[in-house]
Structure 1
Amino acid sequence: MMLKGNVQKLGHSVDTDVMVPGRYLSLLNPADIAKHIFEEVDPDFVQRVKPGDIIVAGENFGCGSGREQAPFGLKALGIGGIVAASFSRTFYRMSIDLGLPILESPEVAAAAVQGQAIEVDTASGRIQLDGTPYQAQPLPRFIQEIIDMGGVTEWVKQELARRQAAAHGDR
């Protein structure tokens, strides 16, 4: 998957509790959650983000409580993907499950600046910042399939349909 946008630069240890303040955890619609992303620490974040923008952050992105609302809200806001030096394992898994592309690259995290043009190829791991190439570890093929299908729910539906079709073909 090829992603193109501008960098939304964040620091280290970006906490899910900061991404989505607790008073919004009862919201069920991801579009409603998206309206409140980072509102307590960066009230202009939602207005600054354009569809396809890519968050670039430091180490331990998504730490804190396992709030599924955080990747849901980021995706609904139009964030195309996230490149970070490292991710909390819970946030990493939730992002994959929801179809939000993420790659680890300490080099890109160190080099990127706010608003810079960025291109990310999740399949190959190639990243360009204003044309300067970087290489991240690409997503494994099965994770890439989940991302391409929009998340694990759709992947499971398609896998069950494929298996059902194969079973009926064997009769």
Structure 2
Amino acid sequence: MELIRGKVLVSLGDHIDTDLISPGKFLTSYEPEYLGSICLCEYAPDFREKVRAGGLLIAGKNFGCGSSRETAPIALQAAGVRAVIAEEFARIFYRNAINVGLPCIECPDTLKSISVGDEVEVDLAKGIVVNITKSMHIVGEPASEKLIEILEGGGLMANLKSRLLSTR
């Protein structure tokens, strides 16, 4: 998988749950564009404007906790987030993110090592985040070959569809 390089545009703390990311009371449509427009709208009203250009998001521990809401990673992606670097993900969020094709990497001390505005490079296969701005490497959890394959295919369903069509 190619390296993901970009500017960190938003920093969130610990325990950001799926209801903050994709508020249930606004789920009147499951279209990605709409989901992107409501992403974190009550927690960080300017979120979409910050990430619209396509950048990276950093977060603390237990990112994506709460309900199994697949709309949360879709909303982040549709808002413009290219990848999420967090100290720790809620497992169900992590799987949902991979399933929709949103790259995620766990790195300890993310919030101490990376700041908004920093230029970073993410190597999912090696589990390394390079903070280019601060000239430092952060070692995280590498993604398995299977997860890389799913992400490269655009997510689980897109990957399966492609594989099924190629066998015809």
TM normalised by structure 2 equals 0.90
Q: Which residue of the other structure, out of 125, 138, 145, is the alignment partner of 1:141?
A: 145
- Counterpart code for 2:44: D
Name the structure 2 match of 1:168: none
Q: Which residue of the other structure, out of 60, 68, 71, is the alignment partner of 1:69?
A: 71
**Alpha-carbon distance between aligned partners in 1 of 2:68 and 2:112, rounded to the nearest angstrom:** 26
1:159 aligns with 2:160: no
**Alpha-carbon distance between aligned partners in 2 of 1:150 and 1:144, rounded to the nearest angstrom:** 10
Name the structure 1 match of 2:85: 83
Name the structure 2 match of 1:3: 4
Report the count of equivalent residues.
Answer: 164
**Pairs within 5 Å for 1:61-140:** 61-129=63-131, 130=133, 131-140=135-144
Name the structure 1 match of 2:46: 44
TM normalised by structure 1 equals 0.89
Q: What is the percentage of aligned positions where both structures have the same residue?
A: 35
- Counterpart code for 1:12: D
* Alpha carbons 1:104, 1:137 under 8 Å: kept: yes
* Alpha carbons 2:60, 2:110 under 8 Å: kept: no
Name the structure 2 match of 1:169: none
* Alpha carbons 1:51, 1:80 under 8 Å: kept: no
| Segment drifting more, 144-153 vs 17-26 | 17-26
Shift of 1:107: 2.8
**Alpha-carbon distance between aligned partners in 2 of 1:67 and 1:128, rounded to the nearest angstrom:** 30
Q: Deviations over 1:60-86 (max 9, x none)?
A: 000011111110011111211111111
Runs of 4 or more above 3 Å deviation: none
**Alpha-carbon distance between aligned partners in 2 of 1:160 and 1:97, rounded to the nearest angstrom:** 17
* Alpha carbons 1:57, 1:83 under 8 Å: kept: yes
Larger radius of gyration: 1
For the aligned residues, what is the CA RMSD?
1.5
Shift of 1:52: 3.2
**Alpha-carbon distance between aligned partners in 1 of 2:155 and 2:95, rounded to the nearest angstrom:** 11
